[in-house]
Structure 1
Amino acid sequence: MRLRPGGYVLGMTLGLLVQGCQKQEPPTVPMEVPAVPPPANAVPREGPAATAPVVHHVLDVKAAGPAPASAAVAPDAGGSTGAGEAAWTTATVQKPRGEPPSITLRAVRTGTHADYDRTVFEFDGPRLPGYQLGYVKTPVQQCGSGDDVALPGEAALEARFTPARAHDDQGQATVAQRTLKPALPSVLQLERVCDFEGEVTWVLGTARRAPFRVMELTNPTRLVLDVQH
């Protein structure tokens, strides 16, 4: 039986359509990517950034001996966790830094723990100014007037920061109180005795010349001063 030319073309077209309908679709690739767990020894970012995408800070935990007092990191009352253990001492601890500009002191806090009292100096920005902490002779003086400052207790522990300031661009104090009287077992009173020409100094009146330790914390930037009971 002979097909007409038009019928032959129509038959070929129908055959190709049927063959195309039977063609298999390629397998799809799932788009879900499994979550990657945070690295070991990591802690989440604190504060307001806790609502932002999670960023982990990896802590370099070493099993060696105690870290230097000027560089060690330890838990803060605010919940930060760090590595290392600062050494207790009665000698002067110092870490000079001379890079301008002055770093602004934003807060001074105190609190007591089982075996020590803690003072926290919080600063703007990602780094601390240079510092020197140690016991000084009494009475101490205001850096501008030279007037004596009476502090309770048997010893005076000075915390000096440079380059630093405790005021804003309008000259207003960033820590309103220049005298704090927490009356803790070791730390009886704190007095700001200097905020002048890139130097900020606070003096702690302590019950005795007790060992202390110094620690640096970040997020926010803080220097911690612990004094044993």
Structure 2
Amino acid sequence: MKRAGRWLSSLWLAGCLVGTGCSKKEEAPPHPAAELPAPDDTPAQPSGAPEGAVARGGEAAAKPPVAVGELPPEEPGAEAPSGAGSPSAGAGAPSGSGSPSAGSGAPSGTGSPSGGATGAGTGAPSGGGSGGVTPENPKNREWTTDAVSLDRRDVPQATLRSVRAGAHPDYDRVVFEFEGTQLPGYRVEYSKEPVVQCGSGNPVTLAGKGQLQVSFTPAKAHTDAGEPTVATRELKPALPVLLELERTCDFEGEVTWVLGNKSNAPFRILELREPTRLVVDVKH
């Protein structure tokens, strides 16, 4: 019986090989997960330097380049000077007996000072608060028609050395330059009363409908011998908005100049140094 079974199995195998052949047992289809690529935890490396990259040398050259961030915008008032004036480094219209040193628009601290009513001075604002001195109020750099003031009663009396004016595409500029490194306190406002000379009380007539008073305390515009430090007390630059300037006070620690504007146009105040200046911009 066993021999008969073995004979039948051999006969079936021979028939399978001679005939159509036997197909192998089909393999099970692969699991879907086997088709996914192997995970890669290595971060992708840039194919090239990013835009604005700075090349690095030495050992750091083999590392990815470092992208440079966008530079901050310039401080207000860094535009090139314009306007008529003496041949100082800028083109503002300087006046007064003071030396034609930098007058300017950019805040101090960036770059060398340059002259003129709107020259690009250095970049950091003056009055950094050292030694108990009241620092500049950043809000005073905003355009306004309201009174702007900063009290510095305890600083030494500052001497005004020059006054100059110049025009920009969007505003007119007046620069008050002082001796030394410290600005006095100030108050800038449109006068609601007729303008008068502080000593005599005589009325002052200026061109324009807006009389912008700029007063400094403690300050003076004369030497110990009584000689004026600014040669002229009246300017007529005839700029788009600023038509005339006149000194109305140099008495008991106060110096006042009045700007005759076409109207009560918005203005802003900038404190600059190297040299020490207070800038008044009047918007067109």
Give the TM-score range, shorter chain.
0.5 to 0.7
Q: For residue 242 of structure 2, what is the aligned residue in structure 1?
A: 187
**Pick from 232, 238, 259: which aligns with 1:177?**
232
Q: For residue 81 of structure 1, what is the aligned residue in structure 2?
A: 123
Contact 1:138 1:155 in 2 (8 A): no
In structure 1, the residue corresponding to 2:141 is in which secondary structure?
Answer: coil
Code of the residue aligned with 1:227 in structure 2: it is V
Q: How does 1:151-166 map to 2 (within 5 A)?
A: 151-166=206-221
Structure 1 stretches of 5 or more lacking a match? 1-41, 48-75
Code of the residue aligned with 1:184 in structure 2: it is L
Structure 2 CA distance, aligned partners of 1:143 and 1:85? 26
Contact 2:163 2:175 in 1 (8 A): yes
Q: For residue 181 of structure 2, what is the aligned residue in structure 1?
A: 126
TM-score norm. by structure 1 comes to: 0.66
Contact 2:111 2:121 in 1 (8 A): no
Contact 2:121 2:273 in 1 (8 A): no
CA RMSD of aligned residues (A): 2.0
| Structure 2 residue 46 is the aligned partner of structure 1 residue 46 | no
Superposition deviation, residue 122 in structure 1: 0.3
Structure 2 CA distance, aligned partners of 1:208 and 1:46? 32
**Pick from 126, 143, 149: which aligns with 1:94?**
149
Code of the residue aligned with 1:224 in structure 2: it is V
Q: For residue 164 of structure 2, what is the aligned residue in structure 1?
A: 109
Contact 2:121 2:272 in 1 (8 A): no
Pair 115,44 (structure 1): closer, same or farther in 2 beyond 3 Å: closer
**Pick from 192, 201, 222: which aligns with 1:137?**
192
Code of the residue aligned with 2:185 in structure 1: it is G
Pair 205,85 (structure 1): closer, same or farther in 2 beyond 3 Å: closer
Q: Percent identity?
A: 55
Structure 2 stretches of 5 or more lacking a match? 1-108, 126-138
TM-score norm. by structure 2 comes to: 0.54
Superposition deviation, residue 138 in structure 1: 4.4
In structure 1, the residue corresponding to 2:239 is in which secondary structure?
Answer: coil
Structure 2 CA distance, aligned partners of 1:115 and 1:146? 35
Superposition deviation, residue 77 in structure 1: 2.1
Structure 1 CA distance, aligned partners of 2:219 and 2:166? 24
Structure 2 CA distance, aligned partners of 1:109 and 1:163? 21
Superposition deviation, residue 101 in structure 1: 2.9
Contact 2:271 2:279 in 1 (8 A): yes
Larger RCO: 1 or 2 (CA < 8 Å, sep 6+): 1
Structure 1 CA distance, aligned partners of 2:193 and 2:112? 42
Contact 2:197 2:204 in 1 (8 A): yes
Superposition deviation, residue 89 in structure 1: 0.2
Superposition deviation, residue 100 in structure 1: 4.6
Structure 2 CA distance, aligned partners of 1:155 and 1:99? 31
Contact 1:117 1:227 in 2 (8 A): yes
Pair 85,173 (structure 1): closer, same or farther in 2 beyond 3 Å: closer
Aligned residues: 161
Structure 1 CA distance, aligned partners of 2:121 and 2:140? 16
